[in-house]
């Protein structure tokens, strides 16, 4: 009962935050003349930050290369365990444009905020509209704005690291920008898939790994780059969980 009531209170707080943030985001966008909507994006990410602060059950530890130059472009990739990944990653102190499924952009309030922030919809029913997504990503990267992918494509049901799609790595090589891996764990307990209840006393880790240089790589090496980055993430997850990297990889 305590968990039930606590979850209702947290969701009520989240709804209030969203209702407050919509007009704030509109006003920010009105005065944001940056072609990549940096201030608007940062304002939207602060909603994610506020949600994590609202939830007393989330104990978040952030490690690694968090002091990067905010206007050096990266193709950022992260493993994906829960919807809670998004507000947790929003705790990082720099803006990045998110590649997210098109269905989210169709939601009344959230969709409007995603569009205002300049995030990028991907239509998974049409083969991912790869050319359109790459064009938008290229626009941002060429203006010193990072983009972020979940290369697994969806949340992991088992908590293991699923196979990656190569799109993010192909993009990084084409644009000549580094890949920046993120590793996240514990969010699968924060908000389990297909559940609305927040679990009590959850410990979340988020780590920014060292950037992986793509200079000198050919497009044909995208698969090799992908596996290298996946292995880096798997090694970190395995260390946290006290298992081997092979046990982490699905």
pLDDT of 124 higher than 90 = no
pLDDT category at 243 given cuts 50, 70, 90 is very high
- Chain centroid to CA 239: how far? 22
Number of domains in the chain: 1
Query: Is 70 exceeded by the pLDDT of residue 126?
Result: no
Closest by Cα among 202, 205, 186 to 57? 202
Confidence of residue 4 (pLDDT cuts 50, 70, 90): confident
Positive/negative CA dihedral, 110, 42, 101, 15? negative
pLDDT at residue 112 above 70? yes
E strands in the chain: 58-64, 75-78, 96-101, 120-122, 146-149, 179-185, 202-208
Asked if residue 182 lies in contact with residue 208, where contact means CB atoms within 8 angstroms, the answer is yes
- The answer to whether 7 and 197 have CB atoms below 8 angstroms apart is yes
For residue 60, pLDDT over 70 is answered with yes
Q: What values do phi and psi take at 121, rounded to 5? A: -80, 140
- Given this model, what pLDDT does residue 198 score? 76
Question: Residue 186: which domain range?
Answer: 2-248
Closest CA to 57 of 108, 20, 3, 8: 3
| pLDDT at residue 2 tops 80 | no
> Tokens in use for 165?
């799609």
Please tell me the predicted confidence (pLDDT) of residue 122.
93
More confident residue, 4 or 182: 182
Q: In what order do the strands lie in the sheet with 179-185?
A: 58-64, 202-208, 179-185, 75-78, 146-149, 96-101, 120-122
Q: Which residues pair with 182 in a beta bridge?
A: 78, 208
pTM of the model: 0.94
pLDDT of 127 reads 63
The more confidently predicted of residues 96 and 4 is 96
% of the chain surpassing 70 pLDDT: 97
CA distance 188 to 68: 27
**Which pLDDT tens digit goes with each residue over 86-100?**
999 999 999 999 999
What digits encode the pLDDT tens for the residues 176-231? 999 999 999 999 988 766 777 777 788 999 999 999 999 999 999 999 999 999 99
Eight-state DSSP code of residue 76: E
The per-residue pLDDT for 32 is 96
Identify whether the C-beta of residue 72 lies closer than 8 Å to the C-beta of residue 144: yes
Task: Flag whether pLDDT at 156 surpasses 70.
Answer: yes
Q: What is the pLDDT of residue 235?
A: 98
Q: Give the integer Cα–Cα distance in Å for 200 and 92.
A: 23
Q: How far apart are CA 222 and CA 166, in angstroms?
A: 7
CB 4 within 8 A of CB 197: yes
Q: 31: domain CATH number?
A: 3.40.1130
Residues near 4 by Cβ (< 8 Å), separated by ≥ 6? 197
Task: Report the mean per-residue pLDDT for the chain.
Answer: 93
Of 152, 162, 30, 143, the closest CA to residue 96 belongs to 143
Residue 56 has pLDDT above 90, yes or no: no
pLDDT in tens, 37-48: 999 999 999 999
Distance separating alpha carbons of residues 218 and 204, to the nearest angstrom: 36
């Amino acid at each position: 009962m305590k968990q039930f009531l606590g979850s209702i209170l947290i969701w009520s707080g989240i709804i209030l935050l969203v209702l407050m943030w919509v007009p704030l985001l509109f006003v920010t966008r009105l005065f944001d003349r940056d072609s990549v909507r940096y201030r608007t994006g940062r304002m939207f990410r602060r909603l994610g930050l506020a949600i994590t602060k609202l939830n007393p059950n989330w104990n978040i530890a952030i490690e690694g290369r968090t002091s990067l130059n905010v206007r050096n472009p990266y193709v950022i990739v992260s493993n994906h365990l829960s919807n809670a990944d998004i507000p947790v990653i929003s705790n990082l102190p720099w803006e990045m444009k998110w590649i997210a499924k098109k269905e989210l952009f169709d939601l009344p309030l959230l969709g409007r905020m995603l569009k205002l922030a300049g995030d990028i919809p991907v239509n998974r029913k049409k083969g991912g509209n790869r050319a359109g997504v790459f064009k938008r990503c290229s626009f941002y990267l060429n203006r010193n704005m990072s983009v972020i992918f979940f290369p697994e494509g969806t949340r992991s049901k088992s908590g293991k690291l699923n196979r990656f799609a190569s799109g993010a790595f192909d993009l990084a090589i084409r644009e000549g920008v580094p890949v920046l891996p993120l590793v996240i764990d514990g969010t699968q307990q924060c908000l389990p898939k297909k559940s609305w209840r927040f679990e009590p006393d959850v410990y979340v880790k988020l780590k920014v790994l060292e950037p992986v240089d793509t200079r000198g790589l050919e497009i044909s090496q995208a698969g090799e780059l992908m596996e290298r980055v996946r292995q880096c993430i798997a090694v970190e997850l395995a260390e946290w969980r006290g298992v081997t990297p092979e046990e982490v990889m699905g």
